[in-house]
Structure 1
Amino acid sequence: MGTAEQFTLRDFPLQCGAVLPEARVVYQVYGDLKPDGTNAILYPTSYGAQHTDVDWLVRLDGILDPSRWCVVMVNMFGNGLSTSPSNTPAVGRPGVYFTHYDNVRAQHALITQALGIERLALVYGWSMGAQQGYHWAALYPDRVQRLAALCGTAKTTDHNKIFLYSLRAALTSDPAWNGDRFEGTPDRGFHTFAQIYASWAASQAYYRAKPYLAWGYDSLEDYILRGWEAGYRQRDPHNLLAMIDTWLRCDLGDNPVYGGDYTKAMGSITAQTLVMPATTDLYFTPEDCEAEAALIPNSEYRPIPSIWGHRAGNPYQNPEDEAFIKEAIADLLSQ
């Protein structure tokens, strides 16, 4: 499968007005690019994830098959591999933040300059990856043939913002937070953060079914501790805040290209678009996703019938939802 590589941009201007002397984008390529360049797929990362956390679906006969497709997995700013508060001290300070406009401009430079890819057969994204996918399709419509947006919206809704505010408050209410930085590990913050995330990311029906008991967890509390909190503790809390701030600012129209006109931005998408929420997603709701699909000229709305909530879009423990997504992506790629 190869190893991760780094692409560096010099004097990269952020949308917030700051200029980074170096902006680093870490990525990994799976599969080979055809001589005519027609089999390239871009897969941006999701909240809290690095490419090795979510590349399970890039495998032979998987959702994205590297024997047929050249899949470029790119780590978004703030995730700890690409430029982030943990590796670039100036980032994460007051007034210095990332937007998806920043992410996608940097990714565009990577794709065109470093990899020599003129057009993407597909941009595939789950959650914050879907947000980046929408930005790709609107900012570079001539570069994106197809878009698969799983469990994500092109604009963060007010209801979704409340979820994000609670996550931010969970971390910054910890005694280790000095109002600007963490002076130690936010133990209480991580614990509360994980409880909030676990409650929103899966549905009520999921918790009634208790699938986690079959995976070696002996109780709900054990599942939250080892299945959720332990994972987020692997991330620098400054990076978690940076990605929350990007998510909060997600608005497809809020950039110099569309000047705040979200509806115009959505209507500018020419890619064949597959909008795939989960029927039980609590924060990227099917109603919100269906409303966005209606604004895109060449779109199909195909919700995932699942009790797994938001996690249905990344079904590494869930063969039924994986099969549903695999079939939908195969249909899209055949068009």
Structure 2
Amino acid sequence: MSHPDMQPSWIDAPHRCASLGRFRLESGEYIDDLLMSHVVHGDLDDRSRPIVLGVCAIGSTHHRLDFLIGAGRAFDPARVTVIVADALGNGLSSSPSNSATQGGSSFPRFTIRDMVNSQKALLDHLNIDALDAVAGASMGGMQALQWGVSYPRFMKKLVALVPMAKTTAWSQAVNQAGRRALETSGDWRAWLAIMHVLAMRTPERFEEDAARAGGTHAWLDKRAAWFRTQRLDPLDWIWQSHAYDAHDVGTTPGFEGDTARALASIEAHTLIGVPALDLYNPVEEGVRAAQQIGNATLLRVPSTSGHMMASEADAASAAQLNAEIASFMGYSRESAS
């Protein structure tokens, strides 16, 4: 996947790629030559500054958290350095679509813990031995919680928006429907109807979006045209969705499948944000994780946008999240307004 077309709200930071050699996966298989795509906002050479790692959602790139980065936002590059890492399988870091030696279906399956471990390898490559925080939304929020379990003393804080600690049967069924739309017809429009309407939005939010677009079919046509500019490879998304389905922090080595005990092991102060309703990652999963982490704050955002609450697509929620995260990180609310 080449870099998707720039969008007006995205930050045009220099795109970097680290070649990290042979990388062992949880399965015992290897990625022949791990490539870790990433961007840096701020001054990485100034190690007196706090460093935040941003991690991205399923099917997205390092631009996924741009709504939280910038002057006056939660992560202001004038005061903190932000490294945003592209996840395995997103077409920029090592993926089925871009591997020179393991392309297509020969690319090994990977897990969310493999994503986290590849990000740790990137930080080691950059000589970073501690973080102020790890932040992410959706699959990024799931990675953030996994960071807290896998590397409990590596960061001070976690920001996990619309996360799950263990993928629900509901979420697995949603992903399976998305996979079938791609595998049987290769039809992005059908996939969009499943993933970007039924999963990502609430009925109330889609009613508004469809009305602005001129109707349901007009919205789907416009969204499909926009999505083509993102150049996502179907197999990349399918491979990431399998990692999504299999996730459970409780299967981290040492926890014998005990999700609650794994969450209780998190030492970082954790902020978990959830909307009123989420038809992809059920709200109850975020609430349960906040209850089981010893030092956690649950933020309920009164959004009717569903899973999209944690994105630039909901301006009011984005403003609240920037203020709340800035406060959580120790910044003044005024600086994030």
Fold in common (TM above 0.5): yes
Matched letter for residue 145 of structure 1: K
Aligned to 1:226: 222
Alpha-carbon distance between aligned partners in 1 of 2:106 and 2:121, rounded to the nearest angstrom: 27
Alpha-carbon distance between aligned partners in 2 of 1:261 and 1:91, rounded to the nearest angstrom: 35
1:109 corresponds, among 121, 140, 161, to: 121
Matched letter for residue 190 of structure 2: T
Secondary structure of 1:173's aligned partner: helix
Going from structure 1 to structure 2, the CA distance change for 1:117 and 1:236 (only over 3 Å counts) comes to same
Alpha-carbon distance between aligned partners in 2 of 1:207 and 1:298, rounded to the nearest angstrom: 35
Aligned to 1:183: none
Matched letter for residue 265 of structure 1: A
Aligned to 2:102: 90
Tell me the CA shift for residue 152 of structure 1: 1.4
Aligned length: 317
Worse-matched range after superposition: 46-55 or 316-325: 46-55
Alpha-carbon distance between aligned partners in 1 of 2:98 and 2:121, rounded to the nearest angstrom: 21
1:80 corresponds, among 84, 91, 99, to: 91
1:242 corresponds, among 232, 239, 244, to: 239
Tell me the CA shift for residue 171 of structure 1: 1.0
2:190 corresponds, among 186, 189, 192, to: 192
Aligned to 1:320: 316
Tell me the CA shift for residue 117 of structure 1: 2.0
Tell me the CA shift for residue 169 of structure 1: 1.1
Q: Is the 1:194–1:229 contact (alpha carbons within 8 Å) kept by the matching residues of 2?
A: no
Written as runs of structure 1 = structure 2, the 5 A alignment for 1:278-289 is 278-289=275-286
Worse-matched range after superposition: 52-61 or 267-276: 52-61
Alpha-carbon distance between aligned partners in 2 of 1:144 and 1:2, rounded to the nearest angstrom: 24
1:257-304 CA-partner distances (Å, limit 9, x unpaired): 434232221111011001111112112222221111111000011111
Aligned to 2:17: 6
Going from structure 1 to structure 2, the CA distance change for 1:66 and 1:35 (only over 3 Å counts) comes to closer
State TM-score, norm by structure 2.
Answer: 0.88
1:199-233 CA-partner distances (Å, limit 9, x unpaired): 2211012133x14544xx22221112222564167
Alpha-carbon distance between aligned partners in 2 of 1:5 and 1:219, rounded to the nearest angstrom: 40
2:139 corresponds, among 124, 128, 133, to: 128
Secondary structure of 1:93's aligned partner: helix
Tell me the CA shift for residue 11 of structure 1: 1.9
Secondary structure of 2:251's aligned partner: coil
Aligned to 2:206: 207
Q: CA RMSD in A?
A: 2.0
Tell me the CA shift for residue 91 of structure 1: 5.5
Q: Is the 1:16–1:95 contact (alpha carbons within 8 Å) kept by the matching residues of 2?
A: no
Give yes or no for the alignment of 1:261 onto 2:251. no
Matched letter for residue 214 of structure 2: D
Q: Is the 1:38–1:121 contact (alpha carbons within 8 Å) kept by the matching residues of 2?
A: no
Q: Is the 2:20–2:33 contact (alpha carbons within 8 Å) kept by the matching residues of 1?
A: yes
Worse-matched range after superposition: 21-30 or 259-268: 259-268
Q: Is the 1:139–1:257 contact (alpha carbons within 8 Å) kept by the matching residues of 2?
A: no
Aligned to 2:149: 138
Aligned to 1:50: 61
Matched letter for residue 283 of structure 1: Y
State TM-score, norm by structure 1.
Answer: 0.88
Q: Is the 1:141–1:268 contact (alpha carbons within 8 Å) kept by the matching residues of 2?
A: yes
Worse-matched range after superposition: 126-135 or 52-61: 52-61
Aligned to 2:75: 64
Matched letter for residue 164 of structure 1: N
Alpha-carbon distance between aligned partners in 2 of 1:292 and 1:94, rounded to the nearest angstrom: 35
Q: Is the 2:62–2:85 contact (alpha carbons within 8 Å) kept by the matching residues of 1?
A: yes
Tell me the CA shift for residue 124 of structure 1: 0.9
Q: Is the 1:37–1:119 contact (alpha carbons within 8 Å) kept by the matching residues of 2?
A: no
Q: Is the 2:189–2:224 contact (alpha carbons within 8 Å) kept by the matching residues of 1?
A: no
Alpha-carbon distance between aligned partners in 1 of 2:45 and 2:105, rounded to the nearest angstrom: 42
Identity %: 26
Give unpaired runs (5+ residues) of structure 2: 1-11, 332-337
Secondary structure of 1:27's aligned partner: strand
Alpha-carbon distance between aligned partners in 2 of 1:318 and 1:230, rounded to the nearest angstrom: 18
1:219-248 CA-partner distances (Å, limit 9, x unpaired): 221112222564167211111111111111
Going from structure 1 to structure 2, the CA distance change for 1:229 and 1:135 (only over 3 Å counts) comes to farther
Alpha-carbon distance between aligned partners in 1 of 2:109 and 2:103, rounded to the nearest angstrom: 7
1:165-190 CA-partner distances (Å, limit 9, x unpaired): 1111111112xxxxxxxxxxx2xx31
Q: Is the 1:38–1:119 contact (alpha carbons within 8 Å) kept by the matching residues of 2?
A: no
Matched letter for residue 326 of structure 2: A
2:130 corresponds, among 119, 143, 160, to: 119
Give unpaired runs (5+ residues) of structure 1: 175-185
